Structure 1
């Protein structure tokens, strides 16, 4: 008697193979990251800052996409350079990444005491969003508009003060540029943390803070701060009743935005970079993530690693040119 091996239907066999390959693909998509090690997103600014807010949104959505425990670690100080320098020295395994924003590039160019090169010591993973600056003032001042501000500053030169987050930060560079364009004499009061700068503006220790709209949004809504204008080309979803500075100060085409993205230490393997960048784009496309980003006053604007690298390089060129012009 001849024995026969039980036959397995050809279609069922093909279906099993296809399913197995699909499962393999799904499990290996993020295989370059260790499943037993958390993902750390370092915010080089204090809790409650714009950088911290966007970091927490992405910690939630990236963690879910990658199926990894993801935490935000705040290492603020020196206008974001302490946290940036810290990440530059971390293992290039993709498990410690940094939220990079404009000062990340500008700071090392405008100051000589930095320990990292933003373009050589890091690799771009992708831009996340942009955030316009908003001119916020303490509510006790008798100033209701940008026109009032310019008139008051010219009538009382040197009397008004503004908070900045330190040299090379948007709150300092953009405010100084705006002062020059509008002919205002307003004294700078530098702070080591965004949180303290914001608190002192609310309390009236300083008169104003030209910072990203997400930082002062909840306090404007609560009536603790007054927003005179935003540095966007059109009114924003977050502050629809606040005019643009272009219209409020008669500066056609004026725009002042801060970009936000993620970077990893230089030497991170290309496969890991791709894993993270793919996950960032996937997280950014989630309707819930888009809603969360807009809710805190940001405009989603995700890009590829190459596109974000070009944005940072362009920012470096702009800062270098501005520094040369200032020295002439």
Structure 2
């Protein structure tokens, strides 16, 4: 054996116990949970509760860091370049898998730059209209829009946002001609919907509820395949529009930089699963229409691939391009 080869082999052998020790000692310092949106939104709200409970479960602080910008690409790029040591956690969602197609301007590969840990939450969207809109249910909405093609607009929180994709899926499957109006965030879009400057919008249930309660908007349908326990009287788009396969949900899942040791991923997954099974956790978000649920990495991967196929196909078919 050459001396250089022998030295390299000896060094590798010496480092193995150190690597194993680092994994078994994890976590030995605070972790950072990256939220790709500004504080106050749905992703942030769910992420902060998980971070708080992970801190208690793992025995070390989990600090939330909001890295908003470029439709979540700022956060995704940051996590892709972070050290794969278990100290950078990311609340990823649909944008993680569509931005490479939607913008083409990302510094990560959705399949090679990250390891998937567990799904964390699912939130349906409520299709609601301004209180004065001349339709009380889905049948009336379809009839009114078909009689006035291109007259009404449908707002979203931005091009490529999941509620924009929900709107495009709805348009594609119903054949309705609606004008898409993107905003810089769901809050502003919701305000304009309440004021009548927009006629309809798919809003995350957490964001739609205050407007519905105040009577400023009226619910037409919900975007999950099954009715939400939080909104049992709101029919699904699937049933009310006779579109049995229609589904569009805002999901959040924990991902980490690719190469994170499996023992760490396993420990994180078990912690997320334990938290997601807590009755208090489930009930806390159930009232907001958020379904708290965990998964194995393999289940997350299957879901991830299916979501990518569905939305990337729609983006290409509809010619959706980032602004």
- TM-score exceeds 0.5: yes
Partner Cα distance (2:99, 2:141) in 1: 29
Partner Cα distance (1:29, 1:92) in 2: 11
The TM-score, its normalising length taken from structure 1, stands at 0.82
Whether the 8 Å contact between 2:156 and 2:189 is mirrored in structure 1 is yes
For structure 2, the 5+ residue unaligned runs are 1-21
In structure 1, what is the equivalent of residue 71 of structure 2? 79
In structure 1, what is the equivalent of residue 87 of structure 2? 95
The TM-score, its normalising length taken from structure 2, stands at 0.83
Is 2:64 the counterpart of 1:31?
no
Partner Cα distance (2:132, 2:63) in 1: 38
- Select the residue among 137, 162, 175 that pairs with 2:167: 175
What's the CA shift for 1:324?
A: 5.4
Deviations 1:211-233 (A, max 9, x none): 33233223323323321100223
Is 2:179 the counterpart of 1:187?
yes
Partner Cα distance (2:183, 2:98) in 1: 17
Partner Cα distance (1:190, 1:33) in 2: 41
Tell me how many residue pairs correspond in the alignment: 298
In structure 1, what is the equivalent of residue 16 of structure 2? none
**Structure 1 residues 195 and 84: alpha-carbon distance in aligned structure 2, compared to 1, 3 A threshold:** farther
Partner Cα distance (2:271, 2:71) in 1: 28
Counterparts of 1:204-223 in structure 2, within 5 Å, are 204-223=196-215
Counterparts of 1:62-141 in structure 2, within 5 Å, are 62-141=54-133
For structure 1, the 5+ residue unaligned runs are 1-27
Larger deviation: 70-79 or 110-119? 70-79
Whether the 8 Å contact between 1:33 and 1:93 is mirrored in structure 2 is no
- Select the residue among 50, 59, 74 that pairs with 1:58: 50
**Structure 1 residues 157 and 96: alpha-carbon distance in aligned structure 2, compared to 1, 3 A threshold:** same
CA RMSD of aligned residues (A): 2.4
Which stretches of structure 1, 4 residues or longer, exceed 3 Å deviation after superposition? 28-31, 317-327
Is 2:152 the counterpart of 1:160?
yes
Is 2:228 the counterpart of 1:243?
no
Deviations 1:278-315 (A, max 9, x none): 21112112221121231331123210122212221232
Partner Cα distance (1:316, 1:181) in 2: 19
Partner Cα distance (1:224, 1:324) in 2: 35
Is 2:25 the counterpart of 1:43?
no
Partner Cα distance (1:323, 1:141) in 2: 29
